[in-house]
Amino acid sequence: MKQYSQMTATELQAEYNAVKQKYDELLGQGLKLDMSRGKPGPDQLDLSVGMLDTVTSSTDLKSRDGVDCRNYGGLDGLTELKELFADILEVPVGNVIVGGNASLNMMFDTISQAMTHGMGGEPWMKQGTVKFLCPVPGYDRHFGICEYFGIEMINVPYTDEGPDMDMVEELIKDEMVKGMWCVPKYSNPDGIVYSDRVVKRLAAMKPAADDFRIFWDNAYVIHPIFGECDKMLGIYDECVKAGCPDKVIMFTSTSKITFPGAGVAAMAASDANIERIKKRMNYQTIGPDKLNHLRHARFLPDIKAVREQMSKHAAKMRPKFEAVLTVLDRELGGLGIARWKKPNGGYFISMFSEKGCAKRIVGLCRDAGLILTSAGATYPYGIDPDDSNIRIAPSFPSPEELTQAAELLCVATRLATLELFTKR
């Protein structure tokens, strides 16, 4: 088929009529589909139920160090889990804190601490309006934390190898720029893997603010879908080499390795950062749920076990991503009205429509029974300046549902674009 931009007015009108009819047919089908949430499917959760049998009334309830995991004690997690996360995050064991069930909570708390107590300097709340760099499109919950604390967010566009570093290096000259969000591997939603060059530039850059921190949310650190997991340069090692180990704070969790909500989260940082954070934790918590740590340590005794688990997840995810990508290629390929990439890992497919169409597409889908992530959600303040990005989350529905959903999405994309083009 011709690209829409090459069509005459008459051709566009004919195409509009045909697509409108298709859409109206879909409207009548009473579909109930959801591609909005990056949550694992039930078949993925089944991969971890064996973990629940590792800690029962008839198992040893002591950790490797002899700690009775049923009682109080320990602030930063079981040694065996610290070792595991040290391997995953490529940091020394002593620089790891293993916590509760959500890395989001750790990020929120770390920023909360910076606001009230600072990150080595004055409390951020006392310094004026703090700013954060936000590579876009990105993760709405990161932006939500900033919004909650009144932190001003500055969009930084992505290139194929990570955030636009020229822009980042310029923006960090402002000493009120105190932080930056990064999802460095299989970025949410674009699936971008930061290149070695980008990691090196992030590690080497010298922000005006001494208390600037990169919030390195490595949520998909070991989460491939197609082929081997991408290799990345270790940001912490690079920061150490560059003489600024304090600049980065890393986060990850087993939410998409074992159970979302019943997993284990971890963070890692320099000695100074960890000391600062543990000082707060001493007041805040009696320590993490060690029985859940024990379950994880027994189910995932080493990084090899995690990799095996993740290849099982990938096998469940592949047909789902393929279902969506196949439909996108077939229904939108060659029309020149949307672009997307096949991600190697992570949880999302990110589609960019013609400017000004994303909200309309999401609305058309909703009306016909398909829930998508709200247009704009992938940008600070919920505002996509181009109204173009749509986040597709193929993990939860079945491949059959995904095919239906993607077909509807394509019809909606064509219709919204034709509405725009025929109005011109």
User: Where do contacts with its own copies occur on this chain (CB under 8 A)?
Assistant: 37, 39-40, 42, 45, 48-50, 52-53, 55-57, 61, 68-74, 100-102, 104-105, 108-109, 112, 115-117, 125, 141, 144-145, 147-149, 255, 259-262, 280, 282-292
Give the SS3 label for residue 136: strand
Neighbouring C-alpha atoms within 13 Å toward the C-beta of 259: 16
Minimal distance, residue 47 CB to its own copies, in Å? 10
CB contact at 8 A, 172 and 141: no
Minimal distance, residue 286 CB to its own copies, in Å? 5
* Residue with smaller CB distance to its own copies, 74 or 343: 74
How far is Cα 212 from Cα 172, in angstroms, rounded to an integer? 9
- Is the link from the previous residue into 137 a cis peptide, with omega within 30 of 0? yes
* Residue with smaller CB distance to its own copies, 8 or 129: 129
According to DSSP, the β-strands at 265-268 and 248-253 are antiparallel
* Residue with smaller CB distance to its own copies, 1 or 286: 286
* Residue with smaller CB distance to its own copies, 75 or 232: 75
The amino acid at residue 400 is: E
Minimal distance, residue 184 CB to its own copies, in Å? 21
* Residue with smaller CB distance to its own copies, 146 or 198: 146
Minimal distance, residue 414 CB to its own copies, in Å? 32
Minimal distance, residue 256 CB to its own copies, in Å? 10
DSSP string, 155-198: EEEEETTEE-HHHHHHHTTSTTEEEEEE--SS-TTT-----HHH
* Residue with smaller CB distance to its own copies, 102 or 303: 102
* Residue with smaller CB distance to its own copies, 294 or 410: 294
CB contact at 8 A, 410 and 328: yes
How far is Cα 41 from Cα 24, in angstroms, rounded to an integer? 30
How far is Cα 335 from Cα 23, in angstroms, rounded to an integer? 17
Minimal distance, residue 389 CB to its own copies, in Å? 22
Minimal distance, residue 37 CB to its own copies, in Å? 7
Q: CA nearest 257: which of 296, 215, 217, 290?
A: 296
* Residue with smaller CB distance to its own copies, 353 or 374: 374
Minimal distance, residue 307 CB to its own copies, in Å? 21
How far is Cα 363 from Cα 360, in angstroms, rounded to an integer? 5
Phi, psi (deg, nearest 5) at residue 147: -60, -45
The DSSP call for residue 68 is B
